[in-house]
Amino acid sequence: MTEFPTWHGTTILSIRKGTQVVMAGDGQVSMG
């Protein structure tokens, strides 16, 4: 499993497609 940094949210969603990773946490979305 991937280690996540500290999140200030209750819901974490992570989708990985190849080299793209999409993360959504409590209304906040970040792509990297």
Q: Which residues are catalytic?
A: 10
Rounded CA gap, 12 and 4, in Å? Answer: 9
Rounded CA gap, 14 and 22, in Å? Answer: 6
Rounded CA gap, 12 and 15, in Å? Answer: 10
